[in-house]
Structure 1
Amino acid sequence: MHLPVAILALGLATFITSCTSAPSSTTPIQSSPHVIHEKRAADPLDWLISHKPSADKVLPLRIGLTQQNVDQLSDMLMAVSHPDSPNYGKHWTPQQVVDMFAPKKESADKVVGWLRDFGFEKERIRMSANKGWIEVRASLEEVEELLRTEYFVYKHVETGEEQISCETYSVPADVREHIDLIKPTVHFNHRPSPKSTTKFKRSGVNLGKPGVSTVGPKKSAGAQPVPPTLADCDKMITLDCLKALYDVPDFNPVSLDTNSYGIVEFTPQAFLAGDLDLFFSNFSPSLVGVRPKTVLIDGAVVQTTNQSFDFNGESDLDLEYGMALVNPQTVTLLQTGDLVEGAGFDNWLDAVDGSFCTFEGGDDPTQDGIYPDPLPGGFKGAESCGIIAPPFVVSTSYGQDESTITAFSAMRQCTEYGKLGLMGTTILYSSGDNGVAGNGGVCLNSQGQPVDNGTMFNPDFPATCPFVTAAGATQVNPGSTVFDPEGACEQVIFSGGGFSNIFAIPDYQQTAVSSFLTNHPPPYTSAQFNNSGTSRAFPDLAANGANYVIGIDGEFELVFGTSCSSPVVGSFITMVNDARLAAGKSPVGFINPAIYSDQFSDAFNDITIGTNQGCNTVGFTATEGWDPVTGVGTPNVSKLIPLFLSLP
């Protein structure tokens, strides 16, 4: 399943601002004319303008400076990740990454000069520890003048929640090249807060969960164990089914102290200890009583007050299969966000890479949790900045529609994933559960805006970031066995896949994507998807995502989705890393250049059956070679391990 959320719920205190471009007659004369820097990615569904916020409301304005050498990141990552590179596996240290990408002093000086010329005293301007962000505490009135914009308070029609946002903002032309993005501005929060029990039916970023079967077996804690037989893998997936499907060898890890595997969850989503033990007692008895190593990020809690599929399904699924597949390797739970404000992707990134943090977080109040949390009952401690070394593999079964994030914000976050790859971490994201449509089946209009009855395909983020590995979903077709070819998942969910509207195609997949578009051209025009052949395509690979048996709220249920695929693939890469570490080698880090190479083609089972329908179409079709439904296919772990082990 895919957490259609990704960034999970963040309530910017009580409101979020929306801006429209509105030059002020009192704006100081600038030596350089203002130009629009960012425009809101998508008009918010189910939100209406409520009123103007108070002019004296204080906004913590954060200005992200343009980083150096970002244009070289792809080449740098290929150098340590491509199997033919003489520098394969020679990952960077955190300090090397900081030094390479730190903004130029010229950029900081230019932006500070602009702020001082506007009238801000130096005492109101602060620089982040990593020199990447500048903060100025200003009133709403000052910000509107500074950015030639106008903010509004929006109210959600169902929940009554309020947000502040603007439609566009502008900066002087001679300053623009020194700025990546400014927050809070156009980055509208499309999610409910963690306290809200109402889920957006059409939101691009509401908290999601694995789909629940209405026909599958449901057994209470006192019932007989679900038989781990291969005969029923078309009806229920268990550990034995996965091991047979993907030729998983017996796993006897020898690098327990040096290997690491992290799974990200967002509060209030949390596992229940009884659910883990219910699953383990039936499928992995030695794990009964064992819990993940839990790292609490930004005041996170593994809450047990709210117990239902909505609150426990994702975490139970991820940990039951992730822990059981790599047992006895420890799995680290990266539990993120407090119960009041929640968290977004940037929050867990802060925790594993201190260089990504700022003194108060370079995070986006409309996308992430801002800590200390100013809301009543919120976490009052400092944000969790660099509190844990990045695990060698991180799986995240959450996502949002790419249309709900601005290009600048998406690119800045994507760059961070690339930096983690340079340092030796594999980042996995599920590709989405709605085929070519977005969360809730929402599609886009001709302007790329999410609308009811849209006809343009709506890709998923962060799956579209070229520096992550996007996992799609397959299924054992009804009536088939684990020894028959799988098909693309078409039960309950459809494997997310397609082409980015933000990111350019990376070098490692150009040949594969060109072959697909040339030899198997989709029957759609540019009015339906980005068919230029020059955009990032996804997913990269796939694994089964249908009929998983999980222990949930004291019983067994069947669940579906790419939320299943991501932690399973993460487990397989953890097995690969164990073998490499035991041989005195580095972890594999960013795996995409390898899995797209000819050298690794035999290590994947090509999926040639099924589609990923959406937007009133059948979507794309799984076919020979890479396709935007199941990527390069599903892994054969017995072949994958020696191939990676043969690399330097």
Structure 2
Amino acid sequence: MRTQAIVSVLAALALVLASPTPRASHVVHEKRVAPPPQWTRTRRLASNVVLPVRVGLAQRNTDKLEDMLMDIAHPNSANYGKHWSPSRIAATFAPAPESIGTVRGWLEDSGVHSSRIRLSPSRGWIDFNATAQELEELIGAEYHVYTHESGAEHISCDSYSVPKHVQPHIEIITPTLHFDAKVVSSDPPILPGASRNLGQPGVGVTPKTTGRVKGVKAELANCDKMITPDCLRALYNVNYKPIAIHKNSYGIVEYTPQAFLQSDLDMFFTNFSKSLVGTSPTLVSIDGGVVQTQNQSFGFNGESDLDLQYGMALVAPQPVTLYQAGDLPQGASFNNLLDALDKSYCTFEGGDDPNQDGIYPDPLPGGFAGPESCGIVTPANVISTSYASDEADLTPFYATRQCNEYGKLGLMGVTILYSSGDQGVAGNGGRCLNPDGSQTKNGTRFNPLFPAVCPFVTAVGATQVNPNATVNDPESACEQVIFSGGGFSNFFARPKFQEAAVTRFLRDHPPPFTSAQFNTSASRGFPDLSANGANYVIAVDGEFALVFGTSASSPVVGAILTLINDARLAIGKRPIGFINPTIYSDFFNGAFNDITTGGNQGCGTPGFTSAPGWDPVTGLGTPNFPKLLERWLLLP
């Protein structure tokens, strides 16, 4: 004990001598209570390892982002539909010169010479290289190498601190808590980070299957057993053929190595949408994204086949854009997608981050040799993504920084949809939270998903046609194979547009749970709406299979909103853009099919229960296309 005490005193003295900044002035900026599941701390990081440090500067006006969105997205606003330009967004949210000066001054006073410090061209990041020992002294951290059960290794710390006067000027520092830094080794390979594993089979939200089916027929009488495009049209009263296809756009996101097979598309279209036989989505390759055919199985083809077969069939003849993100060696992260969609994000606060994203050109064998995809395409009017991570895998600063970008896309008039999850109130893999914040399958605290919990995306849950029911009968929350993801965020406050609906649910239908199980403070509730997620017939690897998941619900809702955009564009109006303030408004009351039965069990509980109005199982309900169309056509 005496030896340990002496070592501790010497270590503390060394820190004081190494840094001119008084340690007493530091405050904890980010802290993690437990590593993500399947990761184990294995050893201290060698003190001489050089780390690429990036300091994300605080953006201006993010506290006003919700009000800005309400101004252009609420039906009662005089500015409804007056979307912003990317240049206006970049200027509005750029860090203040004071933030640049304060952070640079702190670094130089701490011994980081000015010649080592680089301000990014967008003035949103400050970069420098530092040894592990130097960085530990600078931010009061202790770095370890963590090993995943797959063998992948990552660098991380459990917390870090900055001077109190500096904290307001910083949003995030990497590499720190985020489990996406690569271990530098003289003997590659460099292994992909957790945030770039989105496309790997079984990672995050992925569709589930009960196996192959034969004798598939597009019969409405069979929709309780097999969902087809005609079943969805009947359920949601969709009878509309696009006419403004050259003005409109619909994007579906996939992450390599997930990929569709053209033969599967043609097999599906031959049975359910003959006019599309031979048609492919319009490929936008992001950072070398490739529609690979080397690996073929449900795990590699199920997601893409599902998303594209239903997305394309429901909006035909509207072309569908496929955003294929990431090359085969590295994959991609949500940030790589956002970089490609918004140049102001790529050059301002995203992209070029070796600790969070795929970095291009990719030096790995077979890697994408071109420059990173930075603002390479105008975002589609509606973008659907059927991927997600556990909110608990991230830190509030990391999640908030990305969430704000979804808000900025909303300001530009883009509708962003994300699946809400397939494990009810549990996270991916059925994991729940323990009191210490760690995740296990026997945890008891509910584990929401990100980005679905971000208030600036529209989260889509899942419903089902009940056994022996028809398309004319009310649906219930999905309780076949999967359970609709839903609940309350542990990070994000309840947005204004949702306040009345969520308060009404909690008052009239109080859940039988306490703050020990879910965040009972005024937090963001999800999902926002739902669509069928059970018994989808898809063609995959040359056979038909039944598929379940909010992976199906999101592209279906995206297709329906794309048709509404078509009708508005055809009469000279703008796309609907960020829809959350609109659909929660009194003007849209009654425009959804209310789901009042079924729950979303998980974490050893029955979960929440569907109820009249909004609920944390199916949101506001499923789309009623004629009613939604009527209301949106009346808006400016």
Pairwise same-fold verdict (TM > 0.5): yes
1:160 and 2:151 aligned = yes
Distance 1:414 1:629 in 2: 22
1:316 alignment partner, one of 300, 305, 308: 305
Distance 2:137 2:338 in 1: 32
Give unpaired runs (5+ residues) of structure 2. 1-10, 183-189
Q: Once the two structures are superposed, what CA deviation does each residue of 1:584-620 show, in whole Å capped at 9, x if it has no partner?
A: 1110001011111121122100001100000110000
1:426 and 2:423 aligned = no
In the other structure, the counterpart of 2:166 is 175
1:642 alignment partner, one of 618, 626, 630: 630
In the other structure, the counterpart of 1:105 is 97
In the other structure, the counterpart of 1:506 is 495
Name the SS for the 1:576 alignment partner. helix
In the other structure, the counterpart of 1:368 is 357
Paired amino acid for 1:62: R
Distance 1:531 1:50 in 2: 36
Name the SS for the 1:516 alignment partner. helix
1:148 alignment partner, one of 140, 145, 149: 140
Whether the 8 Å CA contact 1:26–1:145 is kept in 2: the answer is no
Distance 2:437 2:306 in 1: 34
1:595 alignment partner, one of 570, 583, 589: 583
In the other structure, the counterpart of 1:518 is 507
Residue 212 of structure 1 and its aligned partner are, at CA, apart by: 0.5
Paired amino acid for 1:181: I
Q: Once the two structures are superposed, what CA deviation does each residue of 1:567-596 show, in whole Å capped at 9, x if it has no partner?
A: 000001111111111111110001011111
1:267 alignment partner, one of 240, 256, 268: 256
Counterparts in 2 of 1:361 and 1:593: CA distance versus 1, 3 Å = closer
Counterparts in 2 of 1:405 and 1:205: CA distance versus 1, 3 Å = farther
**Identity over the aligned pairs, expressed in percent?**
62
Paired amino acid for 1:455: T
2:213 alignment partner, one of 211, 218, 236: 218
Whether the 8 Å CA contact 1:309–1:553 is kept in 2: the answer is yes
Number of residues paired by the alignment? 614
Paired amino acid for 2:223: C
Whether the 8 Å CA contact 1:545–1:561 is kept in 2: the answer is yes
Paired amino acid for 2:279: V
2:273 alignment partner, one of 274, 280, 284: 284
Paired amino acid for 2:322: L
Residue 46 of structure 1 and its aligned partner are, at CA, apart by: 2.4
Counterparts in 2 of 1:204 and 1:512: CA distance versus 1, 3 Å = farther
Distance 1:60 1:355 in 2: 23
Name the SS for the 2:166 alignment partner. helix
1:184 alignment partner, one of 156, 171, 175: 175
Counterparts in 2 of 1:550 and 1:467: CA distance versus 1, 3 Å = same
Whether the 8 Å CA contact 1:148–1:170 is kept in 2: the answer is yes
2:594 alignment partner, one of 606, 614, 628: 606
Name the SS for the 2:128 alignment partner. strand
Distance 2:497 2:444 in 1: 30
Whether the 8 Å CA contact 2:538–2:545 is kept in 1: the answer is yes
Paired amino acid for 2:124: G
Counterparts in 2 of 1:479 and 1:363: CA distance versus 1, 3 Å = farther
Distance 2:519 2:44 in 1: 37
Whether the 8 Å CA contact 1:190–1:404 is kept in 2: the answer is no
1:236 and 2:226 aligned = yes
Distance 2:557 2:634 in 1: 20
Counterparts in 2 of 1:398 and 1:279: CA distance versus 1, 3 Å = same
In the other structure, the counterpart of 1:485 is 474
Name the SS for the 2:497 alignment partner. helix
Whether the 8 Å CA contact 2:498–2:584 is kept in 1: the answer is yes
Whether the 8 Å CA contact 1:195–1:340 is kept in 2: the answer is no
In the other structure, the counterpart of 1:562 is 550
Q: Once the two structures are superposed, what CA deviation does each residue of 1:105-144 show, in whole Å capped at 9, x if it has no partner?
A: 1101111112222233333222223221111122222222
In the other structure, the counterpart of 2:449 is 460
Distance 1:139 1:359 in 2: 26
Distance 1:65 1:359 in 2: 10
Whether the 8 Å CA contact 1:607–1:622 is kept in 2: the answer is yes
Distance 1:261 1:268 in 2: 22
1:615 and 2:610 aligned = no
Deviates more, 1:625-634 or 1:357-366: 357-366
Q: Once the two structures are superposed, what CA deviation does each residue of 1:334-383 show, in whole Å capped at 9, x if it has no partner?
A: 11011111111111000000111148954655543233334343323221
Residue 449 of structure 1 and its aligned partner are, at CA, apart by: 2.5
In the other structure, the counterpart of 1:206 is 203
Name the SS for the 1:163 alignment partner. strand
Distance 1:371 1:34 in 2: 35
Deviates more, 1:145-154 or 1:66-75: 145-154
1:246 and 2:241 aligned = no
In the other structure, the counterpart of 1:16 is none
Q: Relative contact order (C-alpha < 8 Å, sep 6+): which is higher? A: 1
1:65 and 2:62 aligned = no
The root-mean-square deviation of aligned C-alpha atoms, in Å, is 2.3
Paired amino acid for 2:402: Q
Whether the 8 Å CA contact 2:208–2:481 is kept in 1: the answer is yes
Whether the 8 Å CA contact 1:208–1:310 is kept in 2: the answer is no
Whether the 8 Å CA contact 1:190–1:206 is kept in 2: the answer is no
Paired amino acid for 1:218: V
Paired amino acid for 1:246: Y
Give unpaired runs (5+ residues) of structure 1. 1-20
Name the SS for the 1:511 alignment partner. helix
Residue 640 of structure 1 and its aligned partner are, at CA, apart by: 0.9
Whether the 8 Å CA contact 2:56–2:349 is kept in 1: the answer is no
1:536 and 2:507 aligned = no
In the other structure, the counterpart of 1:355 is 344
In the other structure, the counterpart of 2:366 is 377
Paired amino acid for 2:617: V
Distance 1:231 1:105 in 2: 65
Paired amino acid for 1:236: M
Paired amino acid for 2:438: Q
1:43 and 2:35 aligned = yes
Counterparts in 2 of 1:558 and 1:418: CA distance versus 1, 3 Å = same
TM-score (norm 2): 0.93
Distance 1:594 1:232 in 2: 34
Whether the 8 Å CA contact 1:401–1:439 is kept in 2: the answer is yes
Distance 1:95 1:401 in 2: 32
Deviates more, 1:474-483 or 1:289-298: 289-298
In the other structure, the counterpart of 2:3 is none
2:429 alignment partner, one of 419, 436, 440: 440
TM-score (norm 1): 0.91
Name the SS for the 2:555 alignment partner. helix
Counterparts in 2 of 1:207 and 1:541: CA distance versus 1, 3 Å = closer
In the other structure, the counterpart of 2:125 is 133
In the other structure, the counterpart of 2:8 is none
